[in-house]
Structures are given as structure tokens and as C-alpha cells.
């Protein structure tokens, strides 16, 4: 089968032919129909992501597809079931093996592309805003990088939770995408973020996917007793947080690593995904996918993320 693999840390991934894997106990084999790309895939290529496997390995953290074979002790799924799975890697291939504990059966009304776009981006934002920050109706949420893979979902979920949403993104086209997702106020990346947010009354919760100077400006525009969620560092710089400022304004900085919950509180991920599927089936959210590409163009998909030319999600379709 074909797989898009990192053969050596720091080297460009390659499309290679490998043997089809066999499922072990508690696992299923899946014909992969769709795989969502994430910024973490770029970090894995460089070998800097916290959960990077040893090369060679197949990229692709989240998939949707059809079960083709059951491993021992699998009773919750059957062959031909459609599932979504968060494997952490292994998704950019025609077939893959995934743990049943990290899989969920898909409703008929959800497409493979939407399922592959839903898990990490929406899961991260829902766990961050609802579980960690306890975002309340009427509060003001600031989302930076608001047209990106996770940022756009934060705008959408923030509105579903009843917040007033301020969206920051680069350029009119990306800001329009954020507006269509429900943003109440728009700030271009070239504007003075701190001044604009303060003019709007400050932020009660900050959802920051950029880091660096953007985080610093958002930090200074946060209201007393505000909560800050450092989600990622797409700008390249991990911000250093002045503890004395936390004290003066009674601020909280809340770490969020979605994948870690699978290890110590998997019910948080499971309950979140059930909520998200319910919202999807009720028509309350719709994943925004800007590009759908075949497996032999996976490198183009990663380039779209690297160069920030995508909005929402980029999805690869290994199985057509």
C-alpha cells in the first residue's frame, strides 16, 4: 500500500510503498477515506512535536474510513463499520491500524471529509473553551489566528456557548471566513491588537494559536480574572508569561493538550466528541474545509499549512 512517511527527522516526507499493517488485540484495520492535516504534522516532520514517533513513520493524526478487519478482543465494531479515529499518526496511507479505544462509529449523515476535519480542531476548541476555560454566555472571547484549523472552530464553538467573539486574522478574505463562522468583531493582523480589544471592552477568555507578540498583546488586553489558553505557536515563538502580571490582574493561564486526555481522562475526549457530533447532526456546526487533495498531493497540503494559505482544514483522501 502507499503511505506518506517521514523517513528521517528533518527530511521531506515521501510517498512510499509499505506492507499493509495487521491489527493487534483491541485494534481494527481501516480503509482510510479521509485524513485531516494539522500543524502538528509539520512539527513531526522536523522532529519537534512532543509525541513524534521514531522514523520511519506515517504522518496523519486523524482519519475517517471503513473497518476492514478486526483484531482480537474487538466486540464494539464490525467489518464495514464507518469510523473516525484519532491515532496520532498513521493516517496518510491507504490503510491503517487504530485502537478501538480511540475510535468512534460515525453516523450516516456525517461525511468522511467532515469526520476527518472534526476531531482535533473541534475537539481542541471544545475541550479548551468548555472544559478548561469554562466560557460563560455573555463573556468576550478573543480568538487569534481565527481563520486557521483550530482558530475557526474556536469562533464557531464560542458562539455556540453564548460568547461575544472577537476574531483576529490576516487579511480581508480570512476575516470574512471568521465572520461567516459567527465572529462579532474582526481585527486584522496588521492592526494594534491590544488597543482594538481594549476599545471593545477587553477579553474575558483568550484563545491564542499564534504565540509571540500576538500572545503578549492579547495578554495585555485581558480583563481581570480572565483566562488565557495558549493553544499553539504558529508564529514560531513560545511566549514567556510574566507571573507578576498574573498576580496584579488575577489572571489564569490554562494549558491545553487535547491528545493527553486520552492517557489520563479519556472520558473528556469521548464526551466532547459526542457533543460535537450532536451539534453536527443538529446543523449547528459545519467543518470548514478549504482544500481536499489526493494522497499523492499530501506535500501540497502540508505546504498550504506551512505558508498559511488555507482556511479551516486541509483534508487528504487516500481512499478517494
Closest CA to 72 of 95, 91, 99: 99
112 and 18 co-located in one domain: yes
- Give SS3 for 98: strand
Name the domain boundary from 213, 236, 253. 253
Q: Evaluate whether residue 48 is within a structural domain.
A: yes
Residue 269's CATH number: 3.90.180.10
How many domains is the chain built from?
2
* pLDDT, averaged in runs of 10, over the chain (320 residues): 95 96 97 96 93 96 97 96 95 97 93 94 96 98 94 96 97 96 96 98 97 95 98 84 92 92 86 92 93 98 94 91
Closest CA to 128 of 288, 287, 253, 277: 253
Closest CA to 299 of 290, 288, 307: 307
CA angle in degrees (0–180, nearest 5) for 256-44-216: 45
- Give SS3 for 67: strand
Tell me the β-bridge partners of 34: 64
Q: Evaluate whether residue 290 is within a structural domain.
A: yes
Name the domain boundary from 214, 235, 253. 253
Q: Evaluate whether residue 125 is within a structural domain.
A: no
C-alpha radius of gyration, the chain, whole number: 19
Q: Evaluate whether residue 127 is within a structural domain.
A: no
pLDDT score of 235? 78
12 and 75 co-located in one domain: yes
Exposed e or buried b per residue across 183-213, where buried means at least 16 C-beta atoms within 10 angstroms of its C-beta:
bbbbbebeeebbebbeebebbbbbbbbbbee
138 and 165 co-located in one domain: yes
Q: Evaluate whether residue 309 is within a structural domain.
A: yes
Alpha-carbon distance 263 to 266, whole Å? 6
pTM of the model: 0.88
269 and 249 co-located in one domain: no
102 and 144 co-located in one domain: no
Q: Evaluate whether residue 171 is within a structural domain.
A: yes
The answer to whether 309 and 290 have CB atoms below 8 angstroms apart is no
153 and 86 co-located in one domain: no
Three-class HEC string of 228-266: EEECCCCCCCCCCCCHHHHHHHCCEECCCCHHHHHHHCH
241 and 300 co-located in one domain: no
Helices 112-126 and 266-281, packing angle to 10 deg = 120
Name the domain boundary from 198, 221, 253. 253
Q: Evaluate whether residue 124 is within a structural domain.
A: no
138 and 229 co-located in one domain: yes
pLDDT score of 169? 96
201 and 266 co-located in one domain: no
229 and 154 co-located in one domain: yes
Q: What single-letter DSSP state applies at residue 52?
A: P
Residue 208's CATH number: 3.40.50.720
Alpha-carbon distance 112 to 62, whole Å? 11
89 and 182 co-located in one domain: no
Q: Evaluate whether residue 226 is within a structural domain.
A: yes
Instruction: Find the domain containing 6 and state its range.
Output: 2-119+262-317
Three-class HEC string of 128-191: HHHHHCCCCCCCEEEEECCCCCCHHHHHHHHHHCCCEEEEEECCHHHHHHHHHCCCCEEEECCC
pLDDT score of 42? 95
14 and 99 co-located in one domain: yes
- Give SS3 for 79: coil
Amino acid at each position: 500500500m502507499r503511505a506518506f512517511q517521514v523517513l528521517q527527522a528533518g527530511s521531506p516526507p515521501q510517498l512510499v510503498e509499505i506492507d499493509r499493517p495487521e491489527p493487534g488485540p483491541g485494534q481494527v484495520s481501516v480503509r482510510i477515506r479521509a485524513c485531516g492535516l494539522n500543524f502538528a504534522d509539520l512539527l513531526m516532520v522536523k522532529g519537534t512535536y512532543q509525541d513524534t514517533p521514531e522514523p520511519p513513520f506515517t504522518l496523519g493524526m486523524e482519519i475517517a474510513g471503513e473497518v476492514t478487519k478486526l483484531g482480537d478482543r474487538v466486540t464494539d465494531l464490525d467489518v464495514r463499520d464507518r469510523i473516525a479515529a484519532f491515532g496520532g499518526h498513521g493516517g496518510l496511507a491507504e490503510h491503517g491500524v487504530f485502537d478501538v479505544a480511540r475510535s468512534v462509529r460515525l453516523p450516516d449523515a456525517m461525511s468522511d471529509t467532515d469526520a476527518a476535519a472534526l476531531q482535533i480542531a473541534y475537539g481542541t476548541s471544545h475541550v479548551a473553551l468548555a472544559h478548561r476555560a469554562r466560557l460563560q454566555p455573555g463573556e468576550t472571547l478573543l480568538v487569534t489566528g481565527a481563520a486557521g484549523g483550530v482558530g475557526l472552530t474556536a469562533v464557531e464553538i464560542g458562539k455556540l456557548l453564548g460568547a461575544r467573539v472577537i476574531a483576529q486574522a490576516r487579511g480581508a478574505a480570512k476575516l470574512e471566513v471568521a465572520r461567516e463562522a459567527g465572529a462579532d468583531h474582526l481585527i486584522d493582523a496588521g492592526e494594534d491588537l491590544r488597543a482594538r480589544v481594549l476599545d471593545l471592552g477587553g477579553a474575558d477568555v483568550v484563545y491564542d494559536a499564534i504565540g509571540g507578540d500576538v500572545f503578549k498583546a492579547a495578554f495585555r488586553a485581558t480583563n481581570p480574572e480572565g483566562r488565557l489558553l495558549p493553544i499553539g505557536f504558529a508564529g514560531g515563538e513560545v511566549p514567556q508569561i510574566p507571573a507578576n502580571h498574573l498576580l496584579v490582574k488575577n489572571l489564569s493561564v490554562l494549558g491545553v493538550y487535547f491528545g493527553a486526555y486520552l492517557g489520563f481522562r479519556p472520558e473528556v475526549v469521548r464526551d466532547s466528541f459526542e457533543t460535537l457530533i450532536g451539534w453536527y447532526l443538529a446543523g449547528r456546526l459545519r467543518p470548514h474545509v478549504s482544500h481536499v487533495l489526493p494522497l499523492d498531493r499530501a506535500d501540497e497540503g502540508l505546504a498550504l499549512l506551512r505558508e498559511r494559505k488555507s482556511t479551516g482544514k486541509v483534508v487528504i483522501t487516500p481512499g478517494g
